[in-house]
Chains A and B, each alone.
Chain A
Amino acid sequence: MSMPAEVNADEIDQLYIRLKKEAESAGYYLNPDIDFTKMLVKSLITNEGRYGYWACPCRLAEGIKEEDLDIVCPCDYRDADLSRYGTCF
């Protein structure tokens, strides 16, 4: 598996804005640390390039979509993590 490729800053900004709107319309909030959140968005784009879908950057993807459905962002573990840690991991 190769190192994450460079991701265009405009692409990160556009996806960040889109995800922020989508999250807030569903009653969730992105981490207010924008630099951190943009790092996460960059990794989603990296994983989209690697696997073809938004595998969670903090979980190991198998690279087979049917096997990774539970970890496609927003993943099945988000709410449990939010309850336990106040954030998802």
Chain B
Amino acid sequence: MAKHVPGKKGPYIMLYALSTCPWCQKTKRLLDEMGIEYYYEDVDLLSGDARRDVMADVERWNPNRSFPTMIVDDSRAIIGFQENELRNLLKV
């Protein structure tokens, strides 16, 4: 079950992250700082079917399976920590 971070409504954001990944931490920090609502999953802390299901979705959007992989409105993926792109996209 993805974790929910409450905040201002904007595009639907699903952030696939790793608890060990500093770029993922920077991405979460930026979203927190902007006060945007989002969902996230630290995939390395999952196991079994939950991990397999999540990785199938990550791979669908990002065949390189790298993190962070952020799915926006279930229609596009932002791969890596892309500060400018995120700030432009999430102007609220």
Interface positions of A (Cβ within 8 A of B) = 1-4, 36, 39-40, 43, 46-47, 57-61, 77, 81, 85, 87, 89
Please report which residues of chain B, range 9-36, place their CB below 8 angstroms from some CB of chain A when the two chains form the complex.
18-26
Interface string of B37-52 (1 = CB under 8 A from A): 0000001111100010
Q: How far is the CA of A12 from the CA of B39 in the complex (A)?
A: 31
Chain B residues touching A, range: 20 to 34
Q: Is B64 on the interface with A (CB-CB < 8 A)?
A: yes
Q: Find chain B residues with CB under 8 A from A3 CB.
A: 19, 45
* Further 18 A-B residue pairs, CB within 8 A, beyond A1-B44, A58-B24, A58-B66: A1-B45, A43-B22, A57-B18, A57-B22, A58-B20, A58-B22, A58-B67, A59-B65, A59-B66, A60-B18, A60-B43, A60-B55, A60-B65, A61-B44, A81-B66, A85-B80, A89-B23, A89-B68
User: Are B79 and A1 in contact, with the CB atoms below 8 A?
Assistant: no
Interface positions of B (Cβ within 8 A of A) = 18-26, 43-47, 51, 55, 64-68, 79-81
Q: Find chain B residues with CB under 8 A from A89 CB.
A: 23, 66-68, 79-81
Cβ contacts A to B, 14 pairs, < 8 Å: A1-B44, A1-B46, A4-B20, A39-B25, A43-B22, A57-B20, A57-B22, A60-B18, A61-B44, A87-B80, A89-B23, A89-B66, A89-B67, A89-B80
- Min Cβ gap B19→A in Å is 6
Q: Which residue of A lies closest to B26 (CB)?
A: A36
Q: How far is the CA of A81 from the CA of B65 in the complex (A)?
A: 13
